[in-house]
């Protein structure tokens, strides 16, 4: 029951969030599904630029993440 409510809330968030822009979304592919991570270049432009470069260079490929 709680899982269903959580899924509905997440779906509602993504359907109603108009600030999501394709070029500022990173997708973390997990075995249980994808996680979309929204980047905020207006808040942290250098961080967004750096993380995009590292991701495009493949630095995060096959890396195990803990406590994200």
Per-residue pLDDT of the chain (68 residues; tens, 9 = 90+): 667 776 766 655 555 454 445 788 888 887 888 888 889 999 999 999 998 998 889 888 887 776 65
Determine the pLDDT at residue 44.
92
68 found inside a domain: yes
61 found inside a domain: yes
Query: Into how many domains does the chain fold?
Result: 1
Domain that holds residue 51: 21-68
16 found inside a domain: no
Using a cut of 0.85, tell me whether the model's pTM lies above it. Answer: no
Tokens read off for 28: 């973390």
Q: How far is CA 28 from the centre of its chain?
A: 6
Determine the pLDDT at residue 20.
46
Q: How far is CA 32 from the centre of its chain?
A: 15
Determine the pLDDT at residue 21.
52
Kindly report the number of other CB atoms within 10 A of residue 16's CB atom: 7
Element (H, E) at 27: strand 25-30
């Amino acid at each position: 029951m709680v899982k269903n409510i959580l899924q509905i809330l997440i779906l509602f968030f993504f359907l109603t969030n108009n600030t999501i822009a394709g070029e500022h979304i990173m997708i973390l592919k997990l075995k249980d599904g994808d996680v979309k991570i929204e980047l905020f270049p207006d808040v942290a432009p250098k961080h967004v630029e750096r993380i995009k470069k590292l991701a495009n260079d493949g630095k995060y490929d096959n890396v195990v993440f803990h406590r994200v």
